């Protein structure tokens, strides 16, 4: 097993707002290994974006602040770093691909300049070399006529091309970790497939680790080695892709899987949505955040936080159903036997 | 880009032509004429009309006028018979423009800086101070602002000369008085725009690249935030230049404002036309420059004009 490159321990991050303190990320722990793709899945507002932005300290601070925990990168705690120290990590050690390429590029700066900006203020590289590397990276991410694109502005490019440029920006500093926050959500399905293939291909070539954030289990299945399922600011379940899909242990994960439509889903077969809405993180529930929506919820689920149960070396599930005294239930019930993943 | 500029120039020329036509006929529609002095005899009046060509059919006068202004000849003033409109303009315009430009320079530079400082210190005391300045500036009219400046800086503290226009120290109070409103509005717009841009995704992208905070603010935030300010610059130039009249009389500056008002009172056709066309052309020119500037700053507009 490869070494851990990033270790996140008991991370808790909150925002002070007019309405009170929002506990966006609560006691989240996971690690990222060299050369793997780790998926983080969950619905809107579950804290996946905030968690990932904590790693690069991109959340606005204030109003955001760390309540506890640590993020260890190369043995140093990112939580304790100053903005100046963070600048050395951003772009060249860890880089970020944002969700919406339409709004994530500066409209008044050429593509080439935006990529080259990574090298601003870094020593030991000449202007000619920088340009050479920029053109090279544009070619690598599959942009035709890189010399011409270099001088173009974002509005002259299509959405897919812009996302390729974003990937180029993330790659050009040769980072060890790339965080991709829903990189394909705003793209159409064919472009999505191209971008995902590109990411996977580049990850193979460059041996970087990728943290892929998505709400699409299909993307997870296609791309990832390991998966982290988040709910209500906490980790609900984590494990390898196979464990998550075939040995599903958490009712929330089961709910996500049950609500996927596939090509062979029968016409009369009803998809099962998860009823209800995510918890209010201003005052998180005392018990399991998912209890209110969980069809298997027991009394204890509302009263106490579930313990973390290690089901295999990789597979962890935070659910009272894993407790030895809990009733044995089939959380995948309602799913037709169609052999789907 | 060349095509974009040519298009702007074309539109500006048409605007000026329409302006000349409308003002020409509007001036003639006013009751009375340039020679209404009851002391003038009927013959004298007819002779004067013939001398200035006002007895010819109006359309013929219009054609002659168009021909004349093509060679920048605005004719003779009827109030000051010995002087051409060009003379009057040449004598007064430099003062007005000098004052206007100084006021604009003050307004834009201070407005931008105040807006930026205000936005970067959002919510704290520094921000509050600049917001208060901006509110005062946009709500106090320029003749009161001018008088207040005169009272404190010239009378109470004796720091600066109270009126006239004879050197740099003399220009400070009228420029500030004239430019204060614009300074305040530029500062408000810049502040709002900065705060909007800072929430844009591309600012986060810029931060994720590990570049310095200064560079993020300078290259990404300010560059994009400045757009709305450039947009209001055209009308702003108009506001500053038309505002000169009050400030000119307050500070006894021999600018265009005086002639402008007099010409309308006296039905001085050639002077009304000369002033308006000159003024109008100047404003159209300012707007055109702003349009072109906009094209330079925002690449998207350049393309649209191709």
Q: CB-CB: which of A88, A100, A117 is closest to B201?
A: A100
Band (A149; pLDDT cuts 50, 70, 90): confident
pLDDT at A174 over 70: yes
- Integer Cα distance of B303 and B306 in angstroms: 5
Determine whether the interchain pair B224/A91 forms a contact, defined as Cβ–Cβ distance below 8 Å. no
- Lowest pLDDT segment from A273-282, A296-305, B116-125, B152-161: A273-282
Q: CB-CB: which of A92, A106, A155 is closest to B202?
A: A106
* pLDDT the model gives residue A341: 40
**Chain A: residue whose CA lies nearest to B197:** A106
* pLDDT the model gives residue B264: 82
What number of residues does chain B have?
A: 306
Q: Which phi and psi angles does A263 have, rounded to 5°?
A: -60, -30
pLDDT at A338 over 50: no
Output the DSSP codes for B42-66.
HHHHHHHHHHHTTTS-HHHHHHHHH
> Comparing A110 with A259, which gets the higher pLDDT?
A110
Q: Chain A contact for B303, CB < 8 A?
A: yes
Q: Chain A contact for B200, CB < 8 A?
A: yes
The answer to whether the Cα torsion of B202, B203, B204, B206 is positive or negative is positive
**Chain A: residue whose CA lies nearest to B300:** A155
Distances (CA, A) of A280 to A68, A163, A213, A318, B75: 21, 33, 22, 19, 78
Taking each helix axis as running N to C, give the angle between helix B168-197 and helix B125-139, from 0 to 180 degrees, rounded to the nearest 10. Answer: 120
Average pLDDT over residues A19-48: 86
* pLDDT the model gives residue A339: 44
Burial annotation A206-238 (CB, 10 A radius, 16+ → b, else e) = eebbbbbbbbbbebbbebbbbbbbbbbbbbbbb
Q: CB-CB: which of A89, A104, A118 is closest to B202?
A: A104
B residues 14-73 closer than 8 Å to A (CB): none
* pLDDT the model gives residue B93: 82
- Give B264: exposed, middle or buried? Use CB within 10 Å, 0-12, 13-18, 19+: middle
Give the number of beta-carbon pairs within 8 Å between A and B: 85
Q: CB-CB: which of A95, A103, A156 is closest to B201?
A: A103
Determine whether the interchain pair B209/A58 forms a contact, defined as Cβ–Cβ distance below 8 Å. no
Mutate to test the interface with A, among B210, B227, B293 (most CBs of A within 10 A): B210
* pLDDT the model gives residue B135: 92
* pLDDT the model gives residue A335: 63
Average pLDDT over residues A254-258: 83
A201-233: pLDDT as tens digits: 888 888 889 999 988 888 888 888 899 998 888
* pLDDT the model gives residue B117: 92
DSSP code for A119: G
Nearest CA distance, B294 vs chain A (angstrom): 12
A181-193: pLDDT as tens digits: 888 877 788 888 8
Average pLDDT over residues A33-38: 88
Chain B residues whose CB is inside 8 A of the A166 CB are 205
Determine whether the interchain pair A90/B207 forms a contact, defined as Cβ–Cβ distance below 8 Å. yes
Band (A262; pLDDT cuts 50, 70, 90): low
B residues 203-222 closer than 8 Å to A (CB): 204-213, 215, 219-220
Determine whether the interchain pair A169/B220 forms a contact, defined as Cβ–Cβ distance below 8 Å. no
Rounded (to 5) percent helix, strand, coil in chain A: 35, 25, 40
Element (H, E) at B256: helix B256-265
DSSP code for A257: H
Give me the long-range contacts of A315-318 (CB less than 8 A, separation at least 24).
A315/A237, A315/A238, A315/A239, A315/A240, A315/A243, A315/A247, A315/A249, A316/A235, A316/A237, A316/A238, A316/A239, A317/A236, A317/A237, A317/A239, A317/A249, A317/A250, A318/A234, A318/A235, A318/A236, A318/A237, A318/A250, A318/A288
* pLDDT the model gives residue B304: 54
Chain B residues whose CB is inside 8 A of the A111 CB are none
Q: CB-CB: which of A117, A156, A166 is closest to B211?
A: A117
**Rounded mean pLDDT of chain A?**
83
Six-digit token pair at B134? Answer: 């901006």
* pLDDT the model gives residue B189: 92
Enumerate residues 6+ apart whose C-beta is below 8 A from B91: B254
- Integer Cα distance of A297 and A256 in angstroms: 17
A232-246: pLDDT as tens digits: 888 888 889 888 888
The SS3 call for residue A271 is coil
Chain A residues whose CB is inside 8 A of the B206 CB are 106, 117
Average pLDDT over residues A41-63: 84
Output the DSSP codes for B180-245.
HHHHHHHHHHHHHHHHHHTTSHHHHHHHHTT--HHHIIIIIIIHHHTHHHHHHHHHHHHHHHHTHH
**Which ranges of chain B have pLDDT less than 50?**
305-306
Mutate to test the interface with B, among A49, A108, A162 (most CBs of B within 10 A): A108
* pLDDT the model gives residue B114: 93
pLDDT at A1 over 70: no
* pLDDT the model gives residue B243: 66
């Amino acid at each position: 097993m490869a070494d851990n490159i990033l270790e996140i321990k008991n991370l808790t991050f909150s925002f002070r707002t007019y309405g009170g303190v929002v506990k966006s990320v609560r006691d989240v722990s996971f690690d990222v290994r060299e050369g793997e793709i780790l998926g983080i899945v969950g619905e809107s507002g579950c804290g996946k974006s905030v968690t990932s932005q904590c790693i690069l300290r991109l959340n606005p601070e204030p109003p955001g602040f760390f309540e506890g925990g640590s993020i260890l990168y190369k043995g140093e705690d990112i939580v304790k770093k100053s903005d100046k120290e963070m600048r050395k990590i951003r772009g060249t050690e860890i880089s970020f691909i944002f969700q919406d390429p339409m709004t994530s590029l500066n409209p008044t700066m050429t593509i080439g300049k935006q990529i080259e900006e990574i090298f601003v203020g870094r020593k030991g590289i000449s202007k000619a070399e920088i340009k050479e590397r920029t053109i090279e990276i544009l070619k690598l991410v599959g942009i035709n006529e890189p010399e011409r694109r270099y001088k173009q502005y974002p509005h002259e490019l299509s959405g897919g091309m812009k996302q390729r440029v974003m990937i180029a920006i993330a790659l050009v500093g040769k980072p060890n970790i790339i965080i991709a926050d829903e990189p394909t959500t705003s793209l159409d399905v064919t472009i999505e497939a191209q971008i995902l293939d590109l990411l996977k291909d580049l990850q193979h070539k460059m041996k970087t680790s990728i943290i892929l954030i998505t709400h699409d289990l299909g993307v997870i299945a296609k791309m990832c080695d390991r998966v982290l399922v988040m709910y209500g600011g906490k980790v609900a379940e984590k494990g390898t892709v196979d464990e998550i899909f075939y040995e599903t242990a958490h009712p929330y994960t089961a709910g996500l899987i049950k609500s996927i439509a596939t090509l062979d889903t029968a016409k009369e077969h009803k998809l099962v949505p998860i009823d209800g809405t995510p918890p209010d993180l201003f005052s998180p529930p005392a018990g399991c955040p998912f209890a209110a929506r969980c069809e298997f919820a027991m009394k204890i689920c509302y009263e106490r936080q579930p313990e973390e149960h290690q089901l295999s070396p990789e597979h962890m599930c935070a659910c009272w159903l894993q407790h030895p005294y809990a009733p044995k239930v089939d959380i995948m019930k309602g799913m037709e036997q169609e052999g789907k993943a | 880009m060349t095509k974009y500029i040519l298009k702007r120039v074309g539109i500006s020329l048409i605007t000026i032509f329409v302006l000349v036509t409308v003002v020409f006929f509007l001036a003639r529609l006013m009751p009375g004429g340039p020679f209404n002095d009851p002391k003038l005899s009927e013959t004298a009046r007819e002779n004067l009309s013939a001398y200035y060509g006002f007895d010819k059919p109006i359309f013929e006068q219009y054609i002659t006028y168009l021909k004349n202004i093509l060679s920048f000849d605005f004719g003779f003033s009827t109030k000051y018979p010995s002087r051409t409109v060009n003379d009057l303009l040449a004598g007064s315009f430099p003062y007005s423009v000098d004052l206007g430009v100084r006021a604009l320079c003050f307004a834009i530079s201070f407005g931008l800086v105040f807006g930026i400082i205000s936005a970067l210190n959002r919510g704290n005391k520094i921000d509050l101070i600049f917001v208060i300045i901006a509110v005062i500036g946009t709500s106090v009219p320029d003749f009161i602002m001018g008088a207040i400046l005169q009272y404190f800086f010239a009378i109470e503290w004796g720091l600066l000369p109270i009126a006239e226009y004879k050197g740099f120290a003399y220009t400070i109070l009228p420029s500030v008085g004239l430019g204060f409103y614009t300074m305040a509005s530029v500062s408000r717009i810049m502040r709002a725009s900065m705060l909007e841009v800072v929430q844009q995704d591309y600012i986060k992208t810029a931060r994720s690249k590990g570049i310095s905070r200064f560079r993020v603010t300078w290259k990404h935030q300010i560059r994009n935030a400045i757009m709305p300010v450039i947009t209001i610059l055209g009308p702003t130039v108009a506001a500053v230049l038309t505002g000169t009249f009050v400030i000119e009389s307050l500070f006894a500056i021999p600018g265009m404002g005086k002639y402008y008002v007099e010409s309308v009172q006296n039905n001085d056709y050639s002077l009304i036309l000369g002033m308006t066309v000159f003024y109008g052309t100047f404003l159209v020119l300012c707007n055109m420059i702003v349009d072109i500037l906009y094209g330079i700053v925002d690449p998207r507009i350049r393309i649209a004009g191709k």
